[in-house]
Amino acid sequence: MVTVRDVAAAAGVSISTVSRALSAPGMVAAGTRDRVAAIAEQLGYQPNRAAASLRAGRKGALGLLVPDLANPYFAAVAKGVAERAREHGLGVFVVDSDEDPAAEVDLLRHLVHQTDGVILASPRAIDADVDVIGPRPVVVVNQDGPLAVVTDTDGGMRLALEHLRGLGHRRIAYVGGPASSWSDARRRGALREAAATGADVVALGHYPPTVAGGAAAAVAVAESGATAAITFNDVVAVGLVRAVRERGLRVPEDLSVVGWDDTYLAALASPPLTSVGSDLREVGRSATDLLVARLGGAPGAREVTVLPGTLSVRDSTGPAPR
Amino acid sequence: MVTVRDVAAAAGVSISTVSRALSAPGMVAAGTRDRVAAIAEQLGYQPNRAAASLRAGRKGALGLLVPDLANPYFAAVAKGVAERAREHGLGVFVVDSDEDPAAEVDLLRHLVHQTDGVILASPRAIDADVDVIGPRPVVVVNQDGPLAVVTDTDGGMRLALEHLRGLGHRRIAYVGGPASSWSDARRRGALREAAATGADVVALGHYPPTVAGGAAAAVAVAESGATAAITFNDVVAVGLVRAVRERGLRVPEDLSVVGWDDTYLAALASPPLTSVGSDLREVGRSATDLLVARLGGAPGAREVTVLPGTLSVRDSTGPAPR
DNA sequence: GTGAAAGCGCTAACAC
DNA sequence: GTGTTAGCGCTTTCAC
């Protein structure tokens, strides 16, 4: 293993100069710096992260806790985190709680210990668990917290409603997700606001965020008298479409359906789903940026990044019947 | 931060005893061990991994390199790896090459340096790069290598062909994936074997492993005269189904389609896809086990785990036309 | 079975 | 601008 000593000997300088040349280039004369860098490169020197961590107190890695990596939503966020972290020279420890909230606290405790800070992408995580985290910065995604990245639910809901109203729909149903979901609560809030301005909207649920959940909502949607439905997420939309078709109705001719999250699933579904979304990868990137900005610095103030909502119009929405 | 010194002081023993009690319990008297453990617990002691790494030369983490975390196939494998690694008390550094073969080598070099060993899931570019890895164990998934986990392609192909033959299909097309894909090559081999025993099979492609790729194959499938198609993966199957329908044909009445990988996409598609697969999570678990077994030990012999292929029959396959 | 002591490779004061 | 030096917290000889 090549160490700073080897590089120092080969370059004819001290080990501190090597260390500085590589990690604080501004403190070293340009000539020395380049020579050291060249020799380090040539020798194949790779700094030992464990040693650097131990000495500097930084771990050089951040943690990402997700409920389910196989969920396209979290996978996309994870990609954004991984991408940006790499640009910052940080590793990413990924932990999957397998949708088990009880395990999350424990996982988080361990994660915190091997990272400089964590990103919690879990919708129903951790409240009182700030104590688990200690002084380390934590960024939450679509959740309340001092450091947070959220997508613009109100804007997204507005886009969806405007789109449907433009197609002539008057009564619109929302197929809600789990009661514990922060996002779901936000969307219901947006719906109430819309209702206050005279819109004819009805919130259904709570339904599980699955195909079965969407299918289970079909009856309620039909009975609601709505000609269009906005669902908690794309998977629920798929379930709703399927169940509605089994009842002999067509999408979008008899019922328009708007998914949420705009995962790649929306494009693959039949029919391809109109879906409210936001750039998921950007969510991951923003969360990482927020975390990195806090890593070296002071505790600092509350900081929330709001990412715009988008509407991808595909084939699951059409003119209102009759 | 609680260190071994704090625990030692509280327990009235030396730091070496604390260290041993916690990481080599057999070398310490039972009474002492339990007392130390209790006090460590009570004080909330968490060993500093960086220090342990530095001293012991182990990193306590393994690396996982995937081409695309948002691909349900790799996401499922990653979940298996994360799950099993946790059981072994190891962290997982996840790196996503974003389907960029050029980046793979560079990412791998870094990854190798912060882990005790790595798992390469379907590497696109790593062959001669064993030199990047040095002495560390590397497990490859669905690829050739001294340590490998592969799924039983021959068995999977056999299941698919038998299923289709049982439905009366005589001429069967395979919609192939990228030329660089190891799996694709294996499947073509399995097809050749089947052809040698008299089956009427035709391999098409290479097509990109995307919806567009599947759609692009529709013409060739039609012209092949086949009444059933097996596709490179589920996404390709979705594209094929879509394009075939646009030509006015029905699935499965006019064309049966078998996907591959049996990702959750298969169950969500319309119609739900019959798909060849294997337990993806188990792939991740097996790869982790293989790696962990090699971590402490000698170089050892070549070792390949073969996981059985399965066939999930859904609605995209039916009796042959006429 | 337990303790004392020597570092693992690096960074950050502190001198010069 | 560069060198010297003191550890970071832990594991692991080596004594006893």
Q: Look up the CATH number of the domain holding residue A140.
A: 3.40.50.2300
Question: How many Å apart are B17 CA and D13 C1'?
Answer: 14
Instruction: Give the tens place of pLDDT for each residue, B41-89.
Output: 999 999 999 999 999 888 889 999 999 998 889 999 999 999 999 999 8
Which own/partner pairs from B98-105 qualify as long-range (CB within 8 Å, at least 24 positions apart)?
A: B98/A79, B98/A83, B98/B67, B98/B68, B99/B67, B99/B68, B99/B124, B101/B125, B104/B65, B104/B129, B105/B129, B105/B132
Name the minimum distance, in Å, from the CA of B55 to any CA of chain A. 9
Distance between CA atoms of A81 and B212, rounded to whole angstroms? Answer: 28
Residues A255, A299 within the same domain: no
Q: Is B208 exposed, middle or buried (0-12, 13-18, 19+ CB in 10 A)?
A: middle
Residue B321, in any domain of the structure: no
Question: How many Å apart are B130 CA and D4 C1'?
Answer: 40
In what side-by-side order are the strands of the sheet with B171-175? Answer: B200-204, B171-175, B228-231, B256-261, B274-277, B310-312
Instruction: Give the tens place of pLDDT for each residue, B247-265.
Output: 999 999 999 999 999 998 9
For chain B, list residues whose CB is within 8 angstroms of any CB belonging to chain A: 46, 48-51, 53-54, 59-61, 68-70, 72, 75-76, 78-79, 82-83, 86, 91-96, 98, 107, 113-114, 211, 235, 238, 241-242, 264-265, 267-270
Residue of A182, A238, A179, A183 whose CA lies nearest to A204: A179
Domain ranges, residue A39: 4-47
Residues A248, A208 within the same domain: yes
Minimum mean pLDDT range among A292-301, B18-27, B94-103, B278-287: A292-301
Q: Are strands A274-277 and A91-96 parallel, antiparallel or unpaired?
A: unpaired
Residues B169, B252 within the same domain: yes
Question: How many Å apart are B35 CA and D5 C1'?
Answer: 38
Distance between CA atoms of A4 and A195, rounded to whole angstroms? Answer: 66
Are the C-beta atoms of residues B267 and B295 closer than 8 Å to each other? no
Residue of B254, B253, B252, B259 whose CA lies nearest to B274: B259
Q: Are strands A147-151 and B91-96 parallel, antiparallel or unpaired?
A: unpaired
Distance between CA atoms of B216 and B205, rounded to whole angstroms? Answer: 10
Q: Cα(first)–Cα(last) distance of chain A, in Å? A: 76
pLDDT in tens, chain A (322 residues): 899 999 999 999 999 999 999 988 888 899 899 999 999 999 999 899 899 999 988 888 999 999 999 888 999 999 999 999 999 889 999 999 988 888 888 888 888 888 999 999 976 656 645 556 677 889 999 988 889 999 999 999 999 999 999 999 999 999 999 998 899 999 999 999 999 998 999 999 899 999 999 999 999 999 999 999 999 999 999 999 999 999 999 999 999 999 999 998 999 998 999 999 999 999 999 999 999 988 866 667 789 999 999 999 999 999 999 7
The DSSP call for residue A277 is E
Distance between CA atoms of A108 and A304, rounded to whole angstroms? Answer: 22
Residue B256, in any domain of the structure: yes
Amino acid identity for residue B197 in this structure: T
Cβ < 7 Å from strand D, B residues 127-166: none
B55 touches strand C (CB under 7 A): yes
Closest-CA residue of chain B to A280: B70
* Beta-strand runs (E) in B26-83: 61-66
Residues B89, B119 within the same domain: yes
Chain D positions with any atom < 7 A from a protein CB? 1-5, 7-13
> Containing H/E element for A120?
strand A118-120
Q: Which of helix, strand or coil describes residue B194?
A: helix
Residue A105, in any domain of the structure: yes
Residue of A224, A216, A265 whose CA lies nearest to A243: A216
The reported pLDDT for the residue numbered A128 is 40
Q: Which of helix, strand or coil describes residue B168?
A: coil
Residue B122, in any domain of the structure: yes
Chain C positions with any atom < 7 A from a protein CB? 1-5, 7-13
Q: Is the Cβ pair B268, A264 closer than 8 Å? A: no
Residues A112, A253 within the same domain: no
Q: Which of helix, strand or coil describes residue B61?
A: strand
Residue A15, nucleotide of least CA–C1' distance: D3
Q: Is the Cβ pair B82, A70 closer than 8 Å? A: no
Closest-CA residue of chain A to B97: A83
Name the minimum distance, in Å, from the CA of B93 to any CA of chain A. 5
Residues A181, A287 within the same domain: no
Residues B221, B124 within the same domain: no
Peptide bond into B321 cis (omega under 30): no
Where residue B213 falls among pLDDT bands split at 50, 70, 90? Answer: very high
* Beta-strand runs (E) in chain B: 61-66, 91-96, 118-121, 138-141, 147-151, 171-175, 200-204, 228-231, 256-261, 274-277, 303-307, 310-312
**Distance of alpha carbon A20 from the chain centroid:** 36
The DSSP call for residue B124 is S
Amino acid identity for residue A181 in this structure: S
Are the C-beta atoms of residues B280 and B310 closer than 8 Å to each other? no
A217 touches strand D (CB under 7 A): no
Residues A194, A274 within the same domain: yes
Residue of A146, A150, A149 whose CA lies nearest to A301: A146
* Structure-token pair, residue B210: 């995307």
Distance between CA atoms of A305 and B322, rounded to whole angstroms? Answer: 60
Residue A25, in any domain of the structure: yes
Question: How many Å apart are B289 CA and C1 C1'?
Answer: 34
Residues A162, A21 within the same domain: no
Residues A201, A85 within the same domain: no
Q: Is the Cβ pair A72, B70 closer than 8 Å? A: yes
Residue of B23, B4, B1, B26 whose CA lies nearest to B13: B4
pTM: 0.90
Distance between CA atoms of B273 and B276, rounded to whole angstroms? Answer: 10
For chain A, list residues whose CB is within 8 angstroms of any CB belonging to chain B: 46, 48-51, 53-54, 59-61, 68-72, 75-76, 78-79, 82-83, 86, 91-96, 98, 107, 113-114, 211, 235, 238, 241-242, 264-265, 267-270
Residue A124, in any domain of the structure: yes
B54 touches strand D (CB under 7 A): yes
Are the C-beta atoms of residues A60 and B72 closer than 8 Å to each other? no
Instruction: Give the tens place of pLDDT for each residue, B117-159.
Output: 999 997 766 663 555 667 788 999 998 888 999 999 999 999 9
Residue B318, in any domain of the structure: no
Give every CB contact of residue B71 below 8 A, 6+ residues apart in sequence: none
* Structure-token pair, residue B59: 């990193």
Residues B204, B291 within the same domain: no
Distances (CA, A) of B211 to A151, B180, B215, B266, B313: 28, 18, 6, 13, 21
Residue B6, nucleotide of least CA–C1' distance: D9
A1 touches strand C (CB under 7 A): yes
The reported pLDDT for the residue numbered B247 is 94
Residue A318, in any domain of the structure: no
The reported pLDDT for the residue numbered B312 is 98
Residue of B145, B75, B131, B135 whose CA lies nearest to B299: B135
Q: Output the DSSP codes for B255-318.
A: -EEEEEE--HHHHHSSSPPEEEE--HHHHHHHHHHHHHHHHSS-----EEEEEPPEEE--SS--
Distance between CA atoms of A257 and A190, rounded to whole angstroms? Answer: 18
Number of domains in chain B: 3
Cross-strand pairs, A61:
A91
Distance between CA atoms of B238 and B94, rounded to whole angstroms? Answer: 28
Q: What angle do CA B76, B79, B82 make, to 5 degrees?
A: 155
Residues A145, A293 within the same domain: yes
